[in-house]
Amino acid sequence: MPGFELFSDLERKEVKDVLDNGVLMRYGFDGMRNGHWKAKELESELAKTFQSKHVQLVSSGTAAVSVALASAGIGAGDEVIMPTFTFVASFEAIMMLGAIPVLVDIDDTLTLDPKAVEEAITSKTKAVMVVQMCGSMGDMNALNEICDRHNLIFVEDACQAIGGTYNNKPLGSIADVGCFSFDFVKTITCGEGGAVVTNNQEYYLNADHYSDHGHDHVGKDRGAETHPFLGYNFRISELNAAVGLAQVRRLPEFIAIQKKNYTVIREALSKVDGVTFRRVPEGGEESYAFLNFFLPNLEIAREVSKAFKENGIDVCFHYYDNNWHYIRKWEHLKELKSLFPVSKEVKEGLKYLETKTYEQSDAHIARNISCLIKLSWSEEEVLQRASKMAEIVDSFTS
């Protein structure tokens, strides 16, 4: 991770095909494009990859979450349960619909704690969104059972976990609706892009229309299409889709490289006293995009993180002090710093953040270090990196 590390002639060929053809928009211009439909091709490839009936490409992972929720009928005043550890896009996408993000604790999977989810359900709860952070998953059976019992929409944000599986099912294909990102730093990239994945025909058609100004895409004359309901512009371009089309066909290659590099580093760290690893639920297999490990306490984690940087060990993150991925630093959310007036429902719904604390999440994130696994490392670089990381960690834990 990420796919841009290994751009090849395959990506160049697909992009050149679009430029030679001259149609950069995914819809319309049928007579000009001579049968070239990169977005449609990519949706078909992704459906095979995710073992799902329907895929709707959109402009980003953030757009995918908003479109997925809207397609399932989530909107103003509805509560969506989500984890404290995720990217800021998760709550942004919820709030854009006028819905209320209800943040709850994570467990040692670094994803939603089912017990915390159960405790957070109210009469306003309409959906539970698990975020498969850093290449792995939550307790999907337990979360799915909770959603079934309470008649809630189960949403799976697998933006960071493409290639991972749970009980042999691809992550992102397990819940009622799944979301993916193909931005520049994902395992497969379109530059910018995302996808909504579902087996639900109604959700798919809603996503198809909603992401393109409400167009119903019936017939071959775009100007004559009707609008069954309001929509917005979350379209992907043919250029972005062309890059993704080449990349998704290389996904097995990328996952194999990630697994090899991940395994070397994990084996080195596993020999160091005081190091433990995130829990992967039984039946699950990570995408190997990140290696996540725990240290004995916050102080040691901070010292190790600092030492990694000083010794050239890059792309390792201590999220406890991170502005983008953990609630501790989300002051703009807690204080509702918005360019436009926030709705009364959202204002009231987020008052809990004024006093809410997350000791359980803090205990996990404070001790966690998450290391991105690069595709471009040579075998020698991986071995040197593993040895240096183990040496540094051991110096603080022994």
Give me the DSSP letters along 278-301.
PPPPTTEE---SEEEEE-SSHHHH
**Distance (Å) of CA 51 to CA 4, 46, 170, 224, 340:** 25, 8, 7, 33, 41
**Gap between the Cα atoms of 75 and 99, Å rounded:** 5
Going by their DSSP bridges, the two strands 177-181 and 153-157 should be labelled as: parallel
- Determine the distance from the C-alpha atom of residue 74 to the mean position of all C-alpha atoms in its chain, rounded to a whole number: 19
Give me the DSSP letters along 225-236.
---SS---B-PP
**Gap between the Cα atoms of 261 and 231, Å rounded:** 43
Reading the block at residue 380, the tokens are 């020698």
Reading the block at residue 337, the tokens are 């710093």
Q: Count Cβ atoms within 10 A of the Cβ of residue 119 and give its class: 0-12 exposed, 13-18 middle, 19 or more buried.
A: exposed
CB 148 within 8 A of CB 175: no
Q: Count Cβ atoms within 10 A of the Cβ of residue 362 and give its class: 0-12 exposed, 13-18 middle, 19 or more buried.
A: middle
Q: Which secondary structure element, helix H or strand E, spans residue 92, and what is its range?
A: helix 89-95
Q: Which of 224, 225, 256, 235 minimizes the C-alpha distance to 1? A: 256
Query: Which runs of consecutive H residues, i.e. helices, occur in 296-378?
Result: 298-310, 331-334, 344-349, 359-365
Name the active-site residue from 38, 126, 186, 374. Answer: 186
The label of the residue with tokens 């919820």 reads 94
Determine whether 186 is an active site residue.
Answer: yes
The alpha carbon dihedral of 169, 253, 180, 370 has a sign of positive
Please tell me the number of Cα atoms within 13 Å of 357 on its side-chain side.
4
**Gap between the Cα atoms of 189 and 73, Å rounded:** 29
The label of the residue with tokens 């639920």 reads 281
Q: Which of 180, 287, 245, 288 minimizes the C-alpha distance to 8? A: 245
Q: Which residues are annotated as catalytic?
A: 186
